[in-house]
Structure 1
Amino acid sequence: MTDAYIVDAVRTPTGRRGKGLSDIHPADLLGTVFTALFDRTGVDPAHVDDVIAGCVAQMGAQAWNVGRNAWLSAGLPEHVPAVTIDRQCGSSQQAVHFAAQAIKAGDQDLVVAGGVEVMSQVPLNSSGDPGLGFGYPFGGPGWEKRYGDQEIHQFRGGDLIAERWGIDREEMFRFALDSHARAARAQDEGRFADQLVPVAGVTADEGVRRDSDIDKMRSLAPIRPDGIHNAALASQIADGAAALLVASERAVERFGLTPLARVHTTAVVGSDPVLILTGPIPATRKALEKASLSPEEIDLYECNEAFAAVVLAWAKELGIDTGRVNVNGGAMALGHPLGASGARLMTTLVHELVRTDARYGLQTMCEGGGLANATILERV
């Protein structure tokens, strides 16, 4: 088996809902990062074997295989195929997994993996909104026979996790405040400079709140009546796209490429769909076991900040030092453009591995339906 290498990784800034990126067609937004990959690496896109894109709400402007539409909208070669996948919030992380697996199997040599979500145009839960005529995904007889008619929602899941793991609300507020502070520091120190592709005059992530304080956070109403999490403790709705070029050893040699990292280990798990968001715990365990690594041997972690309790429960359960987690801020500050987030986190992780000369990085994220991916990267 050949290794799979990440040659480069790029992303747009994350735009706030209704702000700088909100009017850009999703295909054009994703096409922008596709083009940037080839501008930066010098690789002829005609040599790409496949394009795998993640997108969660595949309707409206994001329908009909947005990955293919993005590739063509960017003026890239028609003979290169593309597919769009949905593993919920982990869609573009799974895109990288599929790319690496095809390369390790010897079936392909160059694969573009990425994702997009313009939530300003296709709102959260659009495809499952009964008002739009698409039906409720958890209401069938088979589902109700197994899980009853209880509320199935990520907001409830986040609250249940906080209760089950005993995560103190003040601890969550401090964690959220730190997410914004870390993101602001990363911006000020230029840590994102090598990964960002400016779009439509937007040059920096729009969600970072430099004036955040705990009193302001406390003052926000809970998302659910009598709930635990409020908007300050949840990921921000956002717009964005990201993409990575994944290559085999043969392609690296043939095209004279200099990889940033190799895809060391991949894992994916199913978990309780009622709690929804606990999957990162078993996914991380599985990835570490497959890699024969301990949590202490991982230099940097990216765990998606869907809700503050998700990351804190994961770290508590696995004994992970949060000082090594989301060191440049997470989704509470940078936003969570669903189908793009897996590739966004991986882009940030691989560039931070290079910047700090670290060896191992692990990325994981919770996903709708009770799922989670975990990826271990090794800098080369």
Structure 2
Amino acid sequence: MEALSRLKPAFDKNGTVTAGNSSGVNDGAAMLLLSSKEKALELNLPILATLKGFASVSVEPSIMGIGAAFAAKKVLEKTHFSIDDMDLIEANEAFVAQSLATLKANANRVNINGGAIALGHLISASGARILTSLIYALRARGKNLGLATLCVGDGQGISAVLEIEM
């Protein structure tokens, strides 16, 4: 802990974000196969989750990081769910604090297996990694509904609601 406390701020000389409390850029891969239910059944493929809805938004690039929270609100409205309906939430850890505060989400349901600091930030595969982590966390715990949310560069955000049929 002493070594972490001595790290210099990364962006602002009076800031608190350091290389020790933020995610690095990592190698990795994740894969998703999206199809209609009919096609999955025809091909005898397992259906791990159903996409109930998704939303993307853009905000001013100067407030980059908050777009994920607005996208989450939008997809929850579209799907007629509330944040309290979500059994688990997987959020892009780089800006998860903004989303948690804005959505008033229960932190005990967010990134329960660790986020990008623990698992790595795969940049181009982050969305697939977040969805894959959410699907397997829901299934392992016998839970039904999940929210995946992440920020994208220049003030964009995207979120999805998934349902697990047990």
Scaled to the shorter chain, the TM-score interval is: over 0.9
Q: What pairs up with 1:163-174 in 2 under 5 angstroms?
A: none
Give me the whole-angstrom Cα distance separating, in 1, the residues matched to 2:20 and 2:150.
19
Alignment deviations for residues 3-32 of structure 1 (CA, whole Å, 9 cap, x no partner): xxxxxxxxxxxxxxxxxxxxxxxxxxxxxx
Query: Which residue does the alignment assign to 1:286?
Result: 74
CA shift for structure 1 position 257: 2.3
1:226 — aligned with what?
A: 14
Contact 2:37 2:47 in 1 (8 A): no
Cα shift at 1:279: 0.4
- How do 1:215-254 residues align onto structure 2 when only pairs under 5 Å count? 215-224=2-11, 225-254=13-42
Q: Which runs of 5+ in 2 are unaligned?
A: none
Q: Deviation string for 1:306-353 (max 9, x for gaps)? A: 1xxx21222112110110000000011211110011101111111111
* CA 270–329 in structure 1, closer or farther in 2 if over 3 Å, else same: same
Could you tell me how far 1:258 is from its partner in structure 2? Answer: 2.3
- 2:100 counterpart SS class: helix
Q: CA deviation at 1:366?
A: 1.1
The one-letter amino acid paired with 2:123 is L
TM-score under structure 1 normalisation?
0.42
C-alpha RMSD of matched pairs (Å): 1.2
The one of 133, 136, 142 equivalent to 1:351 is 136
User: What's the offset of the Cα at 1:254?
Assistant: 1.2
Task: Tell me the distance in 2 between the aligned counterparts of 1:286 and 1:327.
Answer: 23
Match of 1:266 in 2: 54
TM-score, length basis structure 2: 0.93
Counterparts of 1:227 and 1:291 in 2: how far apart (Å)? 38
Residues 85-142 of structure 1: CA distance to partner in whole angstroms, max 9, x if unpaired? xxxxxxxxxxxxxxxxxxxxxxxxxxxxxxxxxxxxxxxxxxxxxxxxxxxxxxxxxx
Q: 2:65 aligns with which of 274, 277, 288?
A: 277
Task: Within 5 Å, give how 1:121-200 maps onto structure 2.
Answer: none
Letter of the aligned partner of 1:284 in structure 2? A
What is the rounded CA distance, in whole Å, between the counterparts of 2:151 and 2:41 in structure 1?
A: 36
Amino acid at match of 2:93: E
Residue 88 (structure 2) pairs with residue 300 (structure 1): yes
Q: Deviations over 1:222-272 (max 9, x none)?
A: 112332211122111101111111121221221122201101110000012
Partners of 2:73 and 2:129 lie apart in 1 by 22
Query: Hey, what's the Cα distance between the residues in 2 that align with 1:254 and 1:265?
Result: 23
For the 8 Å contact 1:305–1:311, the answer to whether it is kept is yes
Q: Tell me, in whole angstroms, the C-alpha distance in 2 between the residues paired with 1:344 and 1:253.
A: 24
Give CA-to-partner distance per residue, 1:45-102, whole Å, 9 cap, x none. Answer: xxxxxxxxxxxxxxxxxxxxxxxxxxxxxxxxxxxxxxxxxxxxxxxxxxxxxxxxxx
For 1:243 and 1:253, the matched residues in 2 are separated by 19
Q: In the alignment, what sits opposite 2:99?
A: 314
Q: Point out the structure with max Rg over C-alpha.
A: 1
Once residues 129 and 25 of structure 2 are traced to their aligned partners in structure 1, the CA distance between those partners, rounded to angstroms, is 14
Q: Distance in 2 between matches of 1:268 and 1:229?
A: 27
Percent sequence identity is: 37
Higher relative contact order (CA 8 A, sep 6+): 2
Q: Alignment length, in residue pairs?
A: 164
Residue 257 of structure 1 corresponds to which residue in structure 2? 45
What secondary structure is seen at the aligned counterpart in 2 of 1:363?
A: strand
Match of 1:332 among 104, 114, 117: 117
- Distance, in Å, in 1 between the alignment partners of 2:6 and 2:119 is 21
- 1:226 & 1:322 partners in 2: Cα distance? 27
Where 1:233 maps in the other structure, the secondary structure is: coil
CA contact 2:30–2:128 (8 Å) conserved in 1:
yes
